[in-house]
Amino acid sequence: MQARPWTSRRGRRRAAAAALALILAIGASVSCGQINSEGRSPSYLIIDSLTASSGASPELFGNALESDVVTNVKVTINGQDTYVATVYEDVGKVLLKMALKDVGASSSPTSTNTITVTRYHVDYKRSDGRKTQGVDVPYSFDGGATGTFAANGGLLSFILVRGQAKLEAPLKALRNNAGAIIISTIAEITFYGTDQNGNTVSVMGTISVNFADWGDPSA
């Protein structure tokens, strides 16, 4: 008769342990579900190339950008030639293509695997590690750019350096020093989109952007 209370306590301990194990199992499954919810798309984006062009020379694209903070443009006013300080935005071009995560022999992309990019984000970082926005580097920003990409790929144009950035610190202080001071940065551009089933996809690329009061093309 004295053993019954002990058996009851042991039963309660076993029940509590089982309940705790069930709670832990549920928690683990929720955690795994959250992790697996990222990157559900069967396709992903690849950056084949990332180039940029100074707004002062928009036809010249390269793998690094010399961003001119101000360009003196010659204009004729009342018969007299004069130079007007002008700010241009700098443009980037990215060659994107879609690929499948499952590369099995029977795998082939369909129209639902194509990825539509709708926006991008730009961050600037200096090579010396300084990265305070508005002090060391221009402010980060988000932009809109839309294109749909299949396995054969395609080009997407976007603004890499906003005109507003050249009117703010730290770029504004580079004016009129004839390139004597250069702010060297690495721009990180992340492109965001979805496949045709609504699964989110993103990819990041980098390009060197060197800010200065470079020589004007027309000078």
Q: Is the pLDDT of residue 84 over 50?
A: yes
Q: What is the pLDDT of residues 141-156, one digit of tens each?
A: 999 999 999 999 999 9
Non-local (6+) Cβ contacts of 61 within 8 A are 51, 52, 53, 93
**DSSP character at residue 92:** E
Token pair in block for residue 119: 């926006």
Q: What percentage of the chain carries pLDDT values higher than 90?
A: 64
What per-residue confidence (pLDDT) applies to 218? 62
Distance between CA atoms of 83 and 57, rounded to whole angstroms? 17
Cα radius of gyration (the chain): 28
The answer to whether the CB of 200 falls within 8 A of the CB of 41 is yes
Q: What is the SS3 assignment for 171? A: coil
What per-residue confidence (pLDDT) applies to 30? 34
Between 38 and 23, the more confident residue is 38
What would the 3-class secondary structure string for 84-103 be? EEECCCEEEEEEEEEEECCC
What per-residue confidence (pLDDT) applies to 106? 58
**DSSP character at residue 137:** B
Say which CATH architecture domain 43-212 belongs to: Sandwich (2.60)
Average pLDDT over residues 50-64: 96
Q: What percentage of the chain carries pLDDT values higher than 70?
A: 80
Residue type, position 65, single letter? L
Non-local (6+) Cβ contacts of 114 within 8 A are 43, 98, 148, 149, 150, 195, 196
What per-residue confidence (pLDDT) applies to 103? 73
The answer to whether the CB of 190 falls within 8 A of the CB of 120 is yes
Q: How many residues in total does the chain contain?
A: 219
What per-residue confidence (pLDDT) applies to 36? 26
Task: Give the pLDDT band of residue 186 (cuts 50, 70, 90).
Answer: very high
Q: What is the pLDDT of residues 188-205, one digit of tens each?
A: 999 999 999 999 999 999
Domain coordinates in residue numbering, the chain: 1-38, 43-212
